[in-house]
A and B are shown apart, each in its own frame.
Chain A
Amino acid sequence: MITALRALAVAVLVVVTVTLQVSIFSSLSIGGVVPDLVLLVVVAAALVRGPDYAALVGFAAGLVLDLAPPADATAGRWALAFVIVGYLIGLARPEGDISIVNTFVMVAAGAFIGTSVYALTGLVLGDPGVTVGAAFRVVPLTVVYDVVITPLVVPLVVLLFRRLEPIERW
């Protein structure tokens, strides 16, 4: 029951994040690049809970992002990207408390991995929008923008994931 409630809370968080990203933060775009709020949620999940939980959250959040309008690309690409981000960041997370510097590094790494995997799957599938030139422009911009927005988003989400954590943590 409580597990279901926790899952529901994460689901609400994901929906709110996706909505914010496509409807509100889209007006804050720099060169078309919008801060990747969903990615920040996945990274925060990885920092708090580790690779398995983050991979699950990444899969769910990525799938919603894949299917929510105005997404028009092949579905499953964000899901794959965020599973990998969640898992890798979860493995790479430092022991003990989450430090500020580490958070920035993890977000930068996550943004790089996520956008790159997404671009790569696009290249493999022959998505005409994905060109190497576009990827070289978009990926660094995404990393920078995500790092910039980190202080405003990640602490809140980290707090929320801590709240949602079962007490009987090993």
Chain B
Amino acid sequence: MQPTDPRVSRVLLGFLVLASLTIITLDARRDTAGSPVDPLRTATSAVLGPVETAAASLARPIEAIPRYFGDVRDLRRHEAQLEATNAALKQRLRAGRANRHRSAELQRIGVFASRTGYSIARAQVVAIGPAQAFTRAVTVDAGTNDGVRPNQTVVNADGLVGRIVSATAKTATVLLIVDGKSVVGGRLTRSMELGLLSGEGDLSGSGGLKLSLVDHTVSPRPGDVVVTWGSHGGAPYLPGIPVGSVVSVHSSPAELTQTAEVRPYADFSSLDVVGIVTSSTSHKPSSTANNAMSGSRQARPTARSARPTGGAAPPTVSGAKPKGSGR
């Protein structure tokens, strides 16, 4: 284990560096078909996910001491609050759906009307990616056992949180909308204009979003509310979920589209309980659903284009930029 020969030592170093580079290369080439590293990743998640959940539940009472002193009454109140949050959340989702119905161009979503409501799996954030990893992703303690699949929408009481990028039996990883890789189709409720909300990639705090409108003649105003535009099959984002409000607008002659700074409603610095909309399993099978079944990160859509299935069909928004597109 402790070779004194410097040549042996160099061979070991070379081997380890080469092994790392091989893994990086294999994984960097992942696409919709997945990556060769995925089985390893799934196995690690399956083992470490529950461990993280257990650790987080051990730590939670300690972290929560300032919030409530372990009094049963307080806990009950907390529970009642959560129930209320959940109810409000469902209400909001229905309201969003109703709004959507009002717009004539989206009438064809009759599928949504027949449904009684989205079913939501409640989950707790159990692990948070560090800034050192330059991503905004969290692990939640609900997995495929609770009906969670990749590309499902994640919300909390305030608004859109992100989407599931991978799920194991008991845990799932959520890519937050403020991550640099995240792109969400958004709609200004005032003018019904469409745009793309990309995460600014802030590594701390609540984070921000950049809205670029498709129609450059429209200019968003501060205070405008942005909701999700929705994707084909409700994956990865369901329509009409509040995302945030416009705080400032920039337009430069060099750019064709107007961009606006959007502050998300969800507070990403203190995420705790989130809801995962699991009812998208009832959607008719599509490429997305197929991906979701295979259960891992290959479900990251790259560039699904608008579906030419009739004039009223809403264009599809892909959930992520193709890797490496940068900003």
Instruction: Please report A residues at the B interface, Cβ cutoff 8 Å.
Output: 3, 15, 18-24, 26-27, 29, 31-34, 36, 49-53, 55-56, 58-59, 62-64, 66-80, 83-84, 87, 115, 118-119, 121-122, 125-131, 134-135, 137-138, 141-142, 166, 169-170
Write out the residue numbers on chain B whose beta carbons fall within 8 Å of the beta carbon of A68: 44-45, 48, 52
Q: Are B130 and A50 closer than 8 Å at their CB atoms?
A: no
| A35 to B, closest residue via Cβ | B130
Q: Shortest Cβ distance from B176 into chain A, in angstroms?
A: 10
Task: Indicate if B312 sits at the interface (CB-CB under 8 A).
Answer: no
Q: Shortest Cβ distance from B130 into chain A, in angstroms?
A: 4
Q: Are A73 and B134 closer than 8 Å at their CB atoms?
A: yes
**A18 to B13 Cα, complex, angstroms:** 23
Q: Are B203 and A126 closer than 8 Å at their CB atoms?
A: no
Q: Shortest Cβ distance from A61 into chain B, in angstroms?
A: 12
Q: Which among A18, A26, A59, A128 is the interface contact of B20 at CB below 8 angstroms?
A: A59
Task: Indicate if B324 sits at the interface (CB-CB under 8 A).
Answer: yes
Q: Shortest Cβ distance from A79 into chain B, in angstroms?
A: 4
Q: Which among A21, A53, A121, A135 is the interface contact of B130 at CB below 8 angstroms?
A: A21
Q: Are A72 and B20 closer than 8 Å at their CB atoms?
A: no
Task: Taking A27-B128, A67-B37 as given, write out 7 further A-B residue pairs in contact, using a Cβ cutoff of 8 Å, ordered by the A residue number.
Answer: A33-B203, A56-B16, A69-B44, A69-B139, A72-B173, A76-B23, A118-B134
Q: Are A83 and B13 closer than 8 Å at their CB atoms?
A: yes
Q: Shortest Cβ distance from B319 into chain A, in angstroms?
A: 13
**A78 to B20 Cα, complex, angstroms:** 9
Instruction: Please report B residues at the A interface, Cβ cutoff 8 Å.
Output: 1-4, 8-9, 12-13, 16-17, 19-28, 37, 40-41, 44-45, 48-49, 51-52, 55-56, 59, 63, 126-139, 165-166, 168, 171-175, 179-181, 201, 203-205, 297, 321, 323-327
Q: Which among A31, A53, A76, A166 is the interface contact of B203 at CB below 8 angstroms?
A: A31
Q: Are B204 and A79 closer than 8 Å at their CB atoms?
A: no
Task: Given A69-B173, A75-B37, answer yes or no on A34-B132 (Cβ-Cβ < 8 Å).
Answer: yes
| A86 to B, closest residue via Cβ | B16
Q: Are A138 and B128 closer than 8 Å at their CB atoms?
A: no
Q: Are B21 and A70 closer than 8 Å at their CB atoms?
A: no
Task: Given A33-B204, A52-B3, A75-B27, answer yes or no on A23-B324 (Cβ-Cβ < 8 Å).
Answer: no
Q: Shortest Cβ distance from A53 into chain B, in angstroms?
A: 6
Task: Given A72-B175, A75-B27, A77-B24, answer yes or no on A15-B51 (Cβ-Cβ < 8 Å).
Answer: yes
**A74 to B129 Cα, complex, angstroms:** 14
Q: Are B132 and A50 closer than 8 Å at their CB atoms?
A: no
Task: Given A18-B48, A64-B44, A128-B201, answer yes or no on A29-B131 (Cβ-Cβ < 8 Å).
Answer: yes
**A142 to B204 Cα, complex, angstroms:** 13
**A49 to B126 Cα, complex, angstroms:** 34
Q: Which among A26, A49, A135 is the interface contact of B127 at CB below 8 angstroms?
A: A26
Q: Are A31 and B180 closer than 8 Å at their CB atoms?
A: no
**A63 to B137 Cα, complex, angstroms:** 18
Which 10 pairs from chain A and chain B are nearest by CB?
A32-B204, A76-B23, A32-B131, A126-B324, A80-B20, A76-B24, A67-B44, A128-B180, A34-B130, A26-B128
- Most chain A CB within a 10 A radius of its CB, from B23, B126, B326: B23
Write out the residue numbers on chain A whose beta carbons fall within 8 Å of the beta carbon of B205: 31-32
Q: Are B201 and A87 closer than 8 Å at their CB atoms?
A: no
Write out the residue numbers on chain B whose beta carbons fall within 8 Å of the beta carbon of A53: 1-2
Q: Are A22 and B24 closer than 8 Å at their CB atoms?
A: no
Q: Are B52 and A22 closer than 8 Å at their CB atoms?
A: yes
What are 5 inter-chain pairs, A to B, with CB distance below 8 A?
A: A24-B59, A32-B204, A74-B27, A129-B180, A170-B2
Task: Given A79-B19, A83-B16, answer yes or no on A138-B132 (Cβ-Cβ < 8 Å).
Answer: yes
**A33 to B269 Cα, complex, angstroms:** 12
